[in-house]
Structure 1
Amino acid sequence: MLSVVDERDIGSCSKRKIVTTLIDICIVGLAAVPLLIFKVSVTPYHRGFYCNDDSIRYPFKSSTITSAALYSIGFVINIVLILLFEFIRYQFGSIYGATNGGPATESTTSYTDSTVQTGRSTRRKIFQYFYNVYRVLLPFVFGAVVEHLTTDIGKYSIGRLRPHFWSVCQPDPAKYNCVTGYITEDVCTGDPSRIREARLSFPSGHASFSTYTMMFAMLYVQARLRWRIISLLRPLIQLILFYLAFYTCLSRVSDYKHHWSDVLGGAIIGVVTAILVVFKVSDLFEKEPRDANSGTPVIQNMVVQTPEHRTMGLQHYTEMGGPGPKIQQHNSHVMTKGYANPHFTAEDEDDRYYIPKARHRNGVARSYTENDVGTEGRIATQVYYIDAGSSRHSDSEGNATFSKMTTQL
């Protein structure tokens, strides 16, 4: 995965975030340098041919999908989708993140829920939106560079002749003799630039780039479009994206630009690169917090001392999916003091409301300062069920009263 920025920085423009962003951009730039070297100074492998090889005697045709159209469509579609769906998450976060078509539960994290409501909140939310666009767009560009580089390595190393090689080569009969069989001499008299391109058949660059960009877009839509009221909307979008790549691949064969095996090899490169980038470089499919599952406690029976010197039982659950009944909630006192959460107001910053350095996380004791309320917490919703009964050691379950509090760690 590309360098990870501390999630506590999200919504703010910190020096650390700027440095890591510049490093990521430099990595992409360095990966793109070999592409320029291939175009400028590398000569394709000089492969010979047979006079009776009919697979390279097809006529020269203009491309149905030009290179300009290929790159424009591939980048524009992904950029538009990323801007659109990240904006939908920015505006409606939990609603469009639901899997059942209705509003998500209160535990679903959204941009609007996790922003500090201060005078700077609007600016922070806007910055957070563009930063999340960047975190999707950067892996996409990185993958496009890797896909292109992989394709070029194959093209220049193998030097396979295109189906229209004979048409652009225009070999001089005085320079070769078909009786000798395999001809390796330079016998072409056509345009040198076209001859050079005619030696770059395997794998297909159009096939690799179109399948990479469309596969990335299909997986992105799968990850982001969870609104299921119209159940066929997501597969419809993905089907359109698939057909765009499929038609591009077919056109390379019908235009006599590539052999079918060239297109197949390029498509495999594009698909594999997209899958690796989405699942290993980006965080599109990382598990997000879901519903609190009462069967999987992370912290149990944590003692909190209130100003009234009354002991309250506290149970903490990480937001996650899965079966299991939720704890019955009642309208009792909700303990919200003493936790690191930027949403708390100034009157909440009171050290008396918890025992310093007594908090645990994932079952492991951690050391905290007496008041870390002012620090911005990890953007991941945590759920606390508080036993506000007379005593957490009560023998009767009927006396237990649970209240739910959500915060961010």
Structure 2
Amino acid sequence: MAVEEKPGVKSSSSIVPCFLFVELVIMAGTVLLAYYFEYTDTFPVHIQGFFCYDKTFSKPYPGPDDTSKIPPVLIYSLVTAIPTLTILVGELCAFFTKAEGTQEKTIVTADCCYFNPLLRRIIRFLGVYAFGLFTTTIFANAGQVVTGNQTPHFLSACRPNYTALGCQSTMQYITERRACTGNPLIVMSARKSFPSKDAALSVYSAVYTVMYVTLVFKTKGTRLTKPTISLTLLCLAMLVGVVRVAEYRNHWADVLAGFFTGGAIAVFLVTCVINNFQQLQPSLPPPRPQRPESVLGMPMVTLPCVESPLEKLSGPQVRGGGGCEARLCSQKRGRDTHPLSLT
């Protein structure tokens, strides 16, 4: 039994299978890949060599990431909580105020299941955000694994035995895998610097939320609300990168690469995947050309007129002159005199 189309209601039989067998599968694969990059040694880190007594990597060891002024737990909590609360509040306000561009139809499937547009928009925006969050993690971890760039405190964590390695000058390059005598876990962490994952996640979260606030929020009576929220979020993300550099955990190049990675992923998802948080507007059909005047309800076929050279030369003084306009006027007068005539 087919579902009758009602105003504000749209029937769809593909939304549930597409969500279960396509989107959830892609999301599960993304989460699984991020887990393997983060918590397993499935993808070994590239081992780069180093110069003896290199001052670029001789900064003091700042301690584990948990002792940082902005620890990873705080970063992960903020990049999860701030966008989620912002999208929930924004969608609730837009739904109850019936903001333009946010009102969608209710989806009916299987003649029984109704998908509210408010719930659909929240799941869509938060689902895309979560997908981008794991994608950013994958990109950052993949870059760290492939490059193997050392952190500024690499030599302090590595503790190489320069005497056993035969280091006579700073120009000697060490490529031995067993050159480090420090804690293997700390040394491995010190080889994962480019790009900065914390900087990438922070900027991704900030840019995604800023674009949502800018494109969805309708603030009447004030011009400073959206700029204040946007600049605050961007400053918090930039502060993460500054702290990473100040604590000798990353180089400036690592932080800038993380900023670019997170920002690019956020802009791509917002503009190309969810259409700037706006409802897709159906394209209007092209207007039909207006028909010429008709006589007795029958359309009149107009034929093109071509002026002759004699009419152009003779001008209005020559009998029969006047060109196409004169003939059209005479035809019109003829139709007025003989209403039953069709020519």
1:27 aligns with 2:26: yes
Q: How does 1:185-204 map to 2 (within 5 A)?
A: 185=176, 186-204=178-196
| Larger displacement relative to structure 2 (154-163 or 38-47) | 38-47
TM-score normalized by structure 1?
0.60
The structure-2 alpha-carbon separation of the partners of 1:134 and 1:11, relative to structure 1 and needing over 3 Å to count, comes to: farther
Q: How far did 1:33 drift?
A: 2.7
Pairs aligned (count): 270
Per-residue CA deviations over 1:147-201 (Å, capped at 9, x if unaligned) read: 2211112111110110111121122344312127101112222221111110001
Q: Give 1:73's aligned residue.
A: 78
Task: Tell me the amino acid that sits aligned with residue 174 of structure 2.
Answer: I
Per-residue CA deviations over 1:90-135 (Å, capped at 9, x if unaligned) read: 11123xx4xxxxxxxxxx6636xx669xxxxxx958x332221011
Q: Give 2:55's aligned residue.
A: 54
Higher-helix-fraction structure: 2
Aligned mate of 1:183, from 174, 187, 195 = 174
Q: Give 1:159's aligned residue.
A: 148
Q: Give 1:110's aligned residue.
A: 103
Q: Give 2:319's aligned residue.
A: none
* Structure 2: distance between partners of 1:73 and 1:128: 27
* Structure 1: distance between partners of 2:11 and 2:196: 42
**Structure 2 contact 196–250 (Cα < 8 Å) conserved:** yes
Q: Give 1:18's aligned residue.
A: 16
The structure-2 alpha-carbon separation of the partners of 1:51 and 1:288, relative to structure 1 and needing over 3 Å to count, comes to: same
* Structure 1: distance between partners of 2:164 and 2:9: 69
* Structure 2: distance between partners of 1:36 and 1:145: 9
* Structure 2: distance between partners of 1:147 and 1:36: 13
Task: Tell me the amino acid that sits aligned with residue 85 of structure 2.
Answer: V
Q: Give 1:170's aligned residue.
A: 159
Q: Give 1:253's aligned residue.
A: 245
> Unaligned 5+ residue runs, structure 1?
1-6, 98-107, 117-122, 291-295, 303-409
The structure-2 alpha-carbon separation of the partners of 1:53 and 1:11, relative to structure 1 and needing over 3 Å to count, comes to: farther
Task: Tell me the amino acid that sits aligned with residue 31 of structure 2.
Answer: A
* Structure 2: distance between partners of 1:240 and 1:79: 17
TM-score normalized by structure 2?
0.71
| Larger displacement relative to structure 2 (200-209 or 31-40) | 31-40
- Secondary structure of residue in 2 paired with 1:284: helix
The runs of at least 4 aligned residues of structure 1 exceeding 3 Å deviation read 10-15, 108-111, 285-290, 296-302
**Structure 2 contact 45–191 (Cα < 8 Å) conserved:** yes
Per-residue CA deviations over 1:194-243 (Å, capped at 9, x if unaligned) read: 11110001111111111111001111111111223221101111011111
Q: Give 2:336's aligned residue.
A: none
* Structure 2: distance between partners of 1:63 and 1:286: 39
Q: Give 1:212's aligned residue.
A: 204
* Structure 2: distance between partners of 1:42 and 1:71: 23
**Structure 1 contact 44–199 (Cα < 8 Å) conserved:** yes
Q: Give 1:269's aligned residue.
A: 261
Q: How far did 1:245 drift?
A: 0.4
Q: How far did 1:16 drift?
A: 2.8
1:37 aligns with 2:31: no
Q: Give 2:299's aligned residue.
A: none
Q: How far did 1:263 drift?
A: 0.5
**Structure 1 contact 109–289 (Cα < 8 Å) conserved:** no
Q: Give 1:281's aligned residue.
A: 273
Greater RCO (Cα-Cα under 8 Å, separation 6 or more): 2
Q: Give 1:120's aligned residue.
A: none
Per-residue CA deviations over 1:307-329 (Å, capped at 9, x if unaligned) read: xxxxxxxxxxxxxxxxxxxxxxx
* Structure 2: distance between partners of 1:275 and 1:60: 35
* Structure 1: distance between partners of 2:76 and 2:25: 22
* Structure 2: distance between partners of 1:210 and 1:12: 38
RMSD across aligned positions (CA): 3.0
Q: Give 1:234's aligned residue.
A: 226
* Structure 2: distance between partners of 1:25 and 1:257: 36
**Structure 1 contact 12–128 (Cα < 8 Å) conserved:** no
**Structure 2 contact 10–106 (Cα < 8 Å) conserved:** no
| Larger displacement relative to structure 2 (210-219 or 277-286) | 277-286
Q: How far did 1:285 drift?
A: 4.9
> Unaligned 5+ residue runs, structure 2?
108-112, 291-343
**Structure 1 contact 11–128 (Cα < 8 Å) conserved:** no
Task: Tell me the amino acid that sits aligned with residue 234 of structure 2.
Answer: F
* Structure 1: distance between partners of 2:18 and 2:265: 24
* Structure 1: distance between partners of 2:264 and 2:36: 24
Q: How far did 1:31 drift?
A: 2.4
**Structure 2 contact 95–102 (Cα < 8 Å) conserved:** no
* Structure 2: distance between partners of 1:170 and 1:13: 66
The structure-2 alpha-carbon separation of the partners of 1:235 and 1:171, relative to structure 1 and needing over 3 Å to count, comes to: same
**Structure 1 contact 92–110 (Cα < 8 Å) conserved:** no
Per-residue CA deviations over 1:282-328 (Å, capped at 9, x if unaligned) read: 122557669xxxxx9855699xxxxxxxxxxxxxxxxxxxxxxxxxx
